[in-house]
Amino acid sequence: MTSAEEPPIVFVHGTRFSAGQWSPQLAALEDEFPVAAVDLPGHGARSDQPWSLTAATEVIAAAVDSLDRGPAVVVGHSLGGYASLEFARRCPERLRGLVLAGASVSTRGQWARPYRWTAGLVPRIPADRLARWNDRLLRRLYPPEVVEATIRSGYAFHTLPAAWNEVLGRFDAGAMRHVAAPVLILNGEKDTVFRSGEREFARAHPDARIELIPRARHLANFDDPHAFTDAVRRFARQLRDDASRSGSRRSLNAAEPPTEG
Instruction: Tell me the per-residue pLDDT of 18-27, one tens digit each, with 9 for 90 and over.
Output: 999 999 999 9
What's the pLDDT band for 245 if we cut at 50, 70, 90?
Answer: confident
Mean pLDDT on 69-79: 98
pLDDT at 246: 72
Q: What is the percent of the chain where pLDDT is above 70?
A: 92
What's the pLDDT band for 243 if we cut at 50, 70, 90?
Answer: confident
Strand partners, 186: 101, 211
Q: What are phi and psi of 134, to 5 degrees?
A: -65, -45
pTM of the model: 0.92
pLDDT at 109: 79
The answer to whether 182 and 211 are in contact (CB under 8 A) is no
Mean pLDDT for the chain? 92
Q: Distance of CA 231 to CAs 100, 134, 186, 188, 210, Å?
A: 12, 27, 8, 12, 11
Question: Per-residue pLDDT for 48 more than 60?
Answer: yes
The candidate with the shortest Cα–Cα distance to 35, out of 15, 70, 10, is 10
Separation between Cα atoms, residue 42 and residue 48, nearest integer Å: 6
Question: Per-residue pLDDT for 201 more than 50?
Answer: yes
pLDDT at 254: 55
pLDDT in tens, 106-156: 999 776 776 777 777 888 899 999 999 999 999 999 999 999 999 999 999
pLDDT at 66: 98
Separation between Cα atoms, residue 196 and residue 211, nearest integer Å: 13
pLDDT at 261: 39
pLDDT in tens, 77-105: 999 999 999 999 999 999 999 999 999 99
Domains along the chain?
9-249 (3.40.50.1820)
The candidate with the shortest Cα–Cα distance to 181, out of 245, 78, 63, 93, is 93
Choice between 13 and 193, residue whose per-residue pLDDT is larger: 13
Q: Distance of CA 119 to CAs 15, 48, 114, 142, 255, Å?
A: 11, 19, 9, 26, 60
